[in-house]
Amino acid sequence: MKKTAGSMVTTGIPSIFLVFSVLCLVILSLLSVGTSRSDLRLSEISMQNATAYYESCSYATGLCLMTEAVINSGQPAGSDYGSIPSAVEEFLDEEIEEVKASGELALPGLQSYTWNPDGNRLSLTIPYTERLALLVDLSFSFHPSSSSWETSILRWQSIQIGSWTPDMHQNVFLPSDEGFFTGDAQSGKR
Domain assignment of residue 176, yes or no: no
Domain assignment of residue 91, yes or no: yes
| Closest alpha carbon to 89 in 101, 81, 78 | 81
Burial class (CB in 10 A: 0-12, 13-18, 19+), 51: exposed
- pLDDT at position 76 is 53
Domain containing 126 equals: 39-160
Domain assignment of residue 18, yes or no: no
Domain assignment of residue 15, yes or no: no
- pLDDT at position 18 is 92
Domain assignment of residue 99, yes or no: yes
pLDDT < 50 positions in the chain: 77-78, 82, 185
* Total domains, the chain: 1
Domain assignment of residue 50, yes or no: yes
Domain assignment of residue 3, yes or no: no
Between the alpha carbon of residue 135 and those of residues 76, 112, 154, 170, the distances in Å are 28, 10, 10, 36
- pLDDT at position 41 is 94
- pLDDT at position 78 is 47
Q: Is the pTM of this model over 0.85?
A: no
